[in-house]
Chain A
Amino acid sequence: GNSVTQMEGPVTLSEEAFLTINCTYTATGYPSLFWYVQYPGEGLQLLLKATKADDKGSNKGFEATYRKETTSFHLEKGSVQVSDSAVYFCALSGDNYGQNFVFGPGTRLSVLP
């Protein structure tokens, strides 16, 4: 079945550091890929998505490129801020009718001033 693997946290960075959170997936066909973010005390919200190979999703300075050849969707940001501290979830939606979403376990990011 479909699955998502992402790097274990927690990740602790200093402000303005470069961020990479790795995400790889296993899926049949051509899934859509997502990053969701959960800020402290808040609900899950979509950060960015990509629906086909080589698409780049971007939002709030974050980017992720759908790489079918490496089955990856790594999240990157060039300069993190304290306000980026949150839990980040990689997810995919299978391309077969009835496929449920699959979420990764989440990576907790802490950005220190």
Chain B
Amino acid sequence: GAGVSQSPSNKVTEKGKDVELRCDPISGHTALYWYRQSLGQGLEFLIYFQGNSAPDKSGLPSDRFSAERTGGSVSTLTIQRTQQEDSAVYLCASSLSLAGGRGTDTQYFGPGTRLTVL
């Protein structure tokens, strides 16, 4: 498809289990972002990938969270030893980079993965 896709759409897990969330960005988009949105809240930035550069991990809330982006395309967000406070919608977005190092263009969001930790 033409848009950003994420899987699974819903994930219910037990406290203490590990989960993996997947994001397929729009083809050709060099920038990829992960965000978290808790119920009724705004967007919380988690991590940002730009081409082959080292990712910006400044938003990851703890060392239980990690992400990788293989081949500059698909990304996986992993949460180890999940806690109930990890319950949220996890959003992925991708964008093009602007010429001349002028940051990134419009972000296109996926539908999100709703994570529920029991």
A residues whose Cβ falls under 8 Å from a Cβ of B? 31-32, 34, 36, 43-46, 49, 89, 91, 93-106
Contact = CB atoms under 8 A, between A and B. Distances in A.
A97 B33 CA distance: 15
Contact of B103 (A45, A93, A103, A106): A93
A43 B103 contact: no
B48 A100 contact: yes
Nearest to B54: A98
Top 6 nearest A-B pairs by Cβ distance? A97-B101, A105-B42, A44-B109, A100-B48, A106-B42, A103-B43
B112 interface: yes
Given A89-B43, A105-B42, A95 B102 contact: yes
Interface of B: 33, 35, 41-43, 45, 48, 50, 53, 56, 91, 93, 97-98, 101-112
A44 to B, nearest CB: 4
A43 B48 CA distance: 19
Contacts of B108: 46
A34 B102 contact: no
Contact of B104 (A93, A104, A106): A93
A93 to B, nearest CB: 5
Given A43-B91, A43-B112, A32 B105 contact: yes
20 contacts: A31-B103, A36-B107, A36-B109, A43-B91, A43-B109, A43-B112, A45-B109, A46-B108, A93-B103, A93-B104, A93-B105, A94-B103, A97-B50, A99-B103, A100-B45, A101-B45, A103-B35, A105-B41, A105-B42, A106-B42
A104 B109 CA distance: 16
